[in-house]
Structure 1
Amino acid sequence: MHQKLLRSAHYIELGSYQYWPVLVPRGIRLYTYEQIPVFLKDNPYITDGYRAYLPSRLCLKSLFILSNETVNIWSHLLGFVLFFTLGIYDLTAVLPAAGASREDFVICSVCLFCFQVCMLCSVGYHLFCCHRSEKTSRRWMALDYAGISIGILGCYVSGVFYAFYCNNYWRQVYLITVLAMILAVFFAQIHPSYLTQQWHRLRSIIFCSVSGYGIIPTIHWVWLNGGIGASIVQEFAPRVVVMYFIAAVAFLFYISKVPERYFPGQLNYLGSSHQVWHILAVVMLYWWHQSTVYIMQYRHSRPCPEYSPDLSTSMKFLTLRLWTLPNELRAMKLRTEAVLFLTSGLLPAGWASILLGVLKNQQDCLGSEINFLFCNQVQNRSSCTGTMERWAVRLSSQITAVFFLLGKHEQRK
């Protein structure tokens, strides 16, 4: 080896291997777990390869050395490059080919921007966590957690937008709810104890809750589309399940510190749980991006019904109509009784039959009104069957009395 390179090379221990020559910039050395400051002690099963006590300039230079953070840094740095490239490809090729609207371009841009921010925040923390100032290290940790929240927000924005593509009311409800939850997480970071080791479990619970909340709109979306038998549910629900499965596996690696727990000191540089967590995070976000593109193309190939009224207005009107229908039918019955009593024996032949037809037509109109207001909202008439059958019974019970009176009047004549 060249003499100049030898002067800038350090011999460090890589797990249980022999001493290997690793080129590092001057002023940088690697430490064992016992030698690093307390705020860097997170995983006792990673025993060496730590960077510590570095100024910002050397933190940046440590990007190109082999340490126990190298895979963590480069996995998300390459993840940023991946999502940046996908953004350019989507905006220039995928979306125009699908006939995307301006909203599609905005949603795609927001989603991929959130993913890129998530990747960069993670890179920043793992690059500068070794800063000699604990305060600076904590700030980068807070930014890393903020990036996770932004990445979650990107998943929700695209998922909710296309899941409730034909239902503006619920789309707004869930988007506002998710945004409020993310803002609440941001405000929680202000608490002085939020980034401490004592709050480690609480932080995990908070992020699991924010991520798991997506199950609620997913179930609601399945119900609105007519259950698991609906075509769009069968197309898209498995993708949601796979995304949550990847996230759950990644989180299990993160909290269990497996496999280094069973091989302490053997996986310091490659194969640790946090590295697996990073790689699975990129895989999960990439999978969700592909799923978003898929459902976007699905929505454009199967557009919404021509008339899709705002749910808040139509549901309020539907509730009012269902509340007043029984009274309306009872009034119809009383009017019929009054007409038959006052005109008993005076109605010309066939008038009762005409009145019977009018009432039957009104029954059909009322049933059609319920069907139009309710069934068009779920975009799948099969889910309306139970509701329509229950209302058919109630309608029939009111109408039957009217028909019975008209029938008796015809018999007397």
Structure 2
Amino acid sequence: MLSLKLPRLLSINQVPRVFHEESIIFGYRHPRSSATDCILSVFQLTNETLNIWTHFLPTWYFLWKLFALLYTLDFWNEAFAWPLIVYMLSCCIYPFASSCAHTFSTMSSRARHICFFFDYGALGFYSLGSAISYSAYIMPDKWVNSTFHQYYVSVAVLNTIVCTGLSCYSRLGLPFVHYNHDTIERLLELDRPKLSKILRVVAFAYPYLFDNIPLFYRLLLCAGESCAHNETIPVHYRHIMLAFLTAFLFATHLPERLAPGCFDYIVGHSHQLFHICAIIGTHFQMETIIKDMTLRRSWLIANSPLPTFSGTIGAVCVSITLSCCIICAFSISLYWKPNFSKKAKKE
């Protein structure tokens, strides 16, 4: 009986362009779904079902890891653990935000944009969480207390703002100027899809590449005893490999581009694989951060200043506040329609 109540699915020709996914032909939900319909669709095989579950289930795994760490670490009295807690919070938030975005993105075209604005903001927070933990535990020995190390987290905060702003811009263009004189919405994502895709890839890739400068140096260029070579190195390589595979899948839309309509539901289209690779990569990253924290603990406490409130919780608060301001500006602009009627009458 439940199957009779599930929302009806549509083809690509039955939904507006803003809902189209490249090379995905069938399995679209109604573009004016109610919140109840969106929740019911989680238990229905649509072209979004696996996108939702591949991030919703890992959220609980990362939450379990977070609570396990809170139980074993003296978080309140040990500043050395603060970066790890911040990182674990970001690991919980970004997959949950993504699963919510995919779940409720068909309530309307505006809701779709707003959902993914928050998804992008959560990814920016994850980037900052990675940078804060890398600053505390991953930095090569010879870079500890260097000028780069001192400004590393501050630049990462700026990168988070750039990531959120550029990814939101890749959907709409400039806020408050995406309506023409007929009050018809003009989206950068629809008008210039290739540029939109390039901007979004850059928005996600640039913070990742910056965050991993210490790790790239430690793995590829550093030689000698001051490079912190230890048993985490092979796992770091796995994380990096999965990160680049994730970027490749996101940018290329393979394999569905080779056979449109064949990967609409099952595991196989790029966004599903992108989610899976991202989660596995995050798992490996988490394991390396925890191991480096444990193995290098004595040396780091003796040679590096302890993490500060401003460099961890404070940086997160600043980043979240500014990112929310950007998201609000883009979201409000979706409802802002300039009144051209008086101007038209004068002309």
CA contact (8 A) 1:76 1:282 kept: yes
Closer, same or farther in 2 for the Cα pair 1:172/1:60, shift >3 Å? farther
Determine the structure 2 residue equivalent to 1:86. Answer: 65
Closer, same or farther in 2 for the Cα pair 1:262/1:187, shift >3 Å? closer
2-structure distance, mates of 1:308, 1:113: 24
What is the deviation of 1:38?
A: 0.9
Determine the structure 1 residue equivalent to 2:286. Answer: 289
CA contact (8 A) 1:59 1:130 kept: yes
Closer, same or farther in 2 for the Cα pair 1:264/1:309, shift >3 Å? closer
Whether 1:153 aligns to 2:150 is no
Q: 1 or 2 for the larger relative contact order (CA 8 Å, sep ≥6)? A: 2
- TM-score normalised to structure 2 length: 0.72
Closer, same or farther in 2 for the Cα pair 1:108/1:188, shift >3 Å? same
CA deviations on 1:26-46 (whole Å, 9 max, x unpaired) are 5x21011111111111212x2
CA contact (8 A) 1:258 1:273 kept: yes
Whether 1:247 aligns to 2:243 is yes
| 1:261 aligned residue (248, 257, 263) | 257
Task: Tell me which amino acid in the other structure corresponds to 2:79.
Answer: E
What is the deviation of 1:236?
A: 4.1
Closer, same or farther in 2 for the Cα pair 1:184/1:264, shift >3 Å? closer
Determine the structure 2 residue equivalent to 1:163. Answer: 138
CA contact (8 A) 1:161 1:171 kept: no
Segment of structure 1 superposing worse, 162-171 or 176-185: 162-171
Segment of structure 1 superposing worse, 166-175 or 260-269: 166-175
Closer, same or farther in 2 for the Cα pair 1:219/1:280, shift >3 Å? closer
Determine the structure 2 residue equivalent to 1:104. Answer: 80
Determine the structure 1 residue equivalent to 2:329. Answer: none
1-structure distance, mates of 2:124, 2:240: 16
What is the deviation of 1:89?
A: 1.2
1-structure distance, mates of 2:93, 2:301: 36
Task: Tell me which amino acid in the other structure corresponds to 2:5.
Answer: P
Report the 3-state secondary structure (helix = DSSP H, G, I; strand = E; otherwise coil) of the residue aligned with 2:296: helix
Determine the structure 1 residue equivalent to 2:15. Answer: 36
Closer, same or farther in 2 for the Cα pair 1:306/1:84, shift >3 Å? closer
2-structure distance, mates of 1:174, 1:56: 41
Determine the structure 1 residue equivalent to 2:208. Answer: 211
2-structure distance, mates of 1:258, 1:69: 17
What is the deviation of 1:100?
A: 11
2-structure distance, mates of 1:85, 1:258: 33
Long gaps (5+) in structure 2: 175-186, 307-347
Structure number with higher strand proportion: 1
Determine the structure 2 residue equivalent to 1:113. Answer: 89
Report the 3-state secondary structure (helix = DSSP H, G, I; strand = E; otherwise coil) of the residue aligned with 2:294: helix
Residues paired across the two proteins, number: 282
Long gaps (5+) in structure 1: 9-22, 311-413
Whether 1:141 aligns to 2:109 is no
Determine the structure 2 residue equivalent to 1:172. Answer: 150
Closer, same or farther in 2 for the Cα pair 1:263/1:87, shift >3 Å? same
CA deviations on 1:65-108 (whole Å, 9 max, x unpaired) are 22111111011100110100000112213x46xx9961233222
What is the deviation of 1:57?
A: 2.7
- What's the RMSD between the two structures over aligned residues? 2.9
User: Looking at CA atoms only, which structure, 1 or 2, has the larger radius of gyration?
Assistant: 1
